[in-house]
């Protein structure tokens, strides 16, 4: 063979070897990755070829499915009361992917989870069509409706309810919201609805899960945590011990006195009186006296500075480190840099109600196979102990005074139910120029001493007259309705 032909033969041989190597790389090394790649059209077609399993609340499905036409995707998702449940379910869309429970539990809902392999193999042998499993939530439908309807009247906000003894989430509402059914397909109407959800096109940002992803200044509701820090660190040992709180009180390192709202009895007030009247001077000085390190330590015990996974991710609530005494004072009354999700504030109320034990919040009770056999069950898990039992009960008595004769009377429930709570009105915006947020955190105790529910509500009412905005006036009635819904569902 002459030299030119030999070179061509060698070159062609190298090309064949390269093709073989590439072919083996794709078939064996990259096979699994390509088979599950979301950009692989066959994967998407297979995903929507069978009905999706359901998300369950109180034994009833809040999701469904319907067939589609004019597409190689056979089924698309439907939702019942979609806007009310969107903060729980998220969405699954032929065009825009999936979020929240629809995304996290996608393997169960589509039937592709490894735990369903044996069943899927049997179905393939017998010729039975593959089915998706179910996600059973901890949610209480009546509590969710009470929360959503209350927020809808006010225009904007969020509410979270927790069962203190277990950490089960009973309500998770956010308003304004959206119906995930409107973006479940891939047509022109879905595209229009998708664009309408974009914050650039809708400043109300209806797709924002305010219960989990928005952090607000908590205002005076944070004083419950500050009171807990005072008791836990031995700064004060009872609810009725007078505090060392002069009036006026000038914040350390400044010439600025910390002001209270109106002419209220805050000078050397007891913790009970200070919580009842929401004395800034008392709790600001408590925070300053304890110092940044001890306040931060207590805040972390309640869950601050860490993301929560329920299993949907919740943003980390904020309590800063490296603050000077005056900044610590402001942070200790829920201002300065302090910011919290509604979930976080419900966790505070829940820990107090549960005698100081904070249970890890969760909203998936169990995962089911298509034949409703249980694949996985969530067991309640203790997260931390921010308070001793003794100090938690002291704080309960203080919060109950707030509802009996303080700023939280709108949350009172009759029939032998005792309610503890704390109102808050959180300033925000440049120089506090924006309308305040109205907060209320609370729990309800039955006559047997059990506490079936703790609630946090935040209201952003842009239409309210500024002077009429208060946690007791706007948020407490919503919390009351949610607590009543939970209590009535147990009868």
State the catalytic residues: 220
* Strands (DSSP E) found in 42-156: 55-57, 60-61, 63-67, 75-79, 92-93, 97-98, 134-137
Q: What does DSSP assign to residue 29?
A: I
**What is the rounded CA–CA span in Å between residue 425 and residue 437?**
6
Q: What does DSSP assign to residue 257?
A: E
**What is the rounded CA–CA span in Å between residue 199 and residue 206?**
8
User: Do you know the residue count of the chain?
Assistant: 491
Q: What is the DSSP string of 415-478?
A: TT-EEEEEEEEE--SGGG-SPPEEEEEEEEE-TTS---EEEEEEE--TTS-GGG--IIIIIHHH
CB proximity list for 421: less than 8 A, separation 6 or greater:
349, 399, 402, 403, 408, 411, 440, 441, 442, 443, 476, 479
**What is the rounded CA–CA span in Å between residue 349 and residue 206?**
27
Tell me if residue 263 falls in helix, strand or coil. Answer: coil
């Amino acid at each position: 063979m002459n030299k030119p032909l030999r070179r061509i033969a060698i070159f062609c041989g190298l090309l064949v070897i390269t093709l073989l190597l590439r072919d083996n790389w794709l078939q064996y090394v990259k096979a699994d990755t390509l088979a599950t790649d979301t950009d692989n059209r066959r994967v998407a077609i297979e995903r929507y070829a069978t009905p999706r399993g359901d998300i369950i609340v109180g034994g009833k499905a809040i999701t469904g499915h319907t067939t589609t036409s004019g597409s190689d995707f056979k089924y698309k998702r439907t939702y019942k009361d979609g806007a009310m449940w969107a903060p729980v379910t998220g969405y699954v869309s032929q065009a825009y992917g999936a979020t929240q429970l629809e995304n996290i539990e996608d393997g169960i809902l589509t039937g592709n989870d490894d735990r369903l392999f044996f069943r899927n193999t049997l179905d393939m042998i017998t010729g039975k069509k593959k089915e998706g499993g179910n996600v059973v939530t901890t949610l209480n439908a009546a509590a969710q409706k009470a929360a959503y309807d209350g927020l809808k009247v006010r225009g904007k906000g969020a509410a979270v309810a927790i069962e203190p003894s277990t950490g089960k989430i009973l309500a998770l509402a956010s308003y304004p919201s959206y119906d995930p059914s409107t973006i479940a397909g891939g047509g022109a109407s879905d595209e229009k609805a998708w664009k309408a959800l974009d914050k650039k096109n809708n400043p109300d940002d209806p797709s924002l899960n305010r219960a989990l992803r928005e952090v607000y200044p908590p205002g005076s509701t944070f004083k419950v945590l500050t009171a807990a820090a005072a008791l836990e660190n031995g700064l004060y040992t009872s609810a009725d011990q007078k505090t060392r709180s002069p009036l006026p009180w000038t914040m350390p390192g400044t010439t600025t006195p910390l002001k209270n709202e109106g002419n209220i009895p805050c000078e050397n007030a007891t913790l009970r009186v200070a919580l009842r009247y929401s004395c800034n001077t008392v709790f600001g000085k408590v925070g300053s006296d304890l110092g940044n390190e001890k306040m931060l330590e207590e805040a972390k015990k309640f869950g601050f500075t860490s993301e929560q996974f329920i299993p949907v991710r919740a943003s980390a609530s904020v309590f800063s480190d490296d603050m000077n005494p005056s900044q610590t004072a402001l942070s200790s009354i829920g201002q300065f840099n302090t910011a919290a999700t509604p979930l976080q504030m419900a966790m505070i109320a829940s820990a107090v109600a549960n005698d100081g034990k904070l249970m890890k919040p969760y909203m998936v009770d169990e995962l089911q196979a298509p034949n409703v056999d249980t694949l996985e069950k969530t067991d309640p898990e203790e997260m931390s102990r921010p308070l001793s039992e003794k100090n938690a009960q002291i704080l309960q008595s203080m919060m109950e005074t707030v509802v009996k004769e303080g700023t939280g009377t709108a949350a009172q429930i009759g029939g032998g139910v005792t309610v503890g709570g704390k109102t808050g009105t959180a300033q925000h915006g440049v120089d506090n120029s924006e309308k305040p947020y109205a907060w209320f955190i609370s729990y309800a105790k039955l006559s047997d001493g059990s506490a079936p529910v703790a609630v946090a509500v935040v209201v952003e009412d842009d239409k309210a007259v500024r002077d009429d905005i208060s946690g007791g006036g706007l948020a407490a009635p919503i919390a009351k309705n949610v607590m009543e819904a939970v209590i009535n569902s147990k009868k």
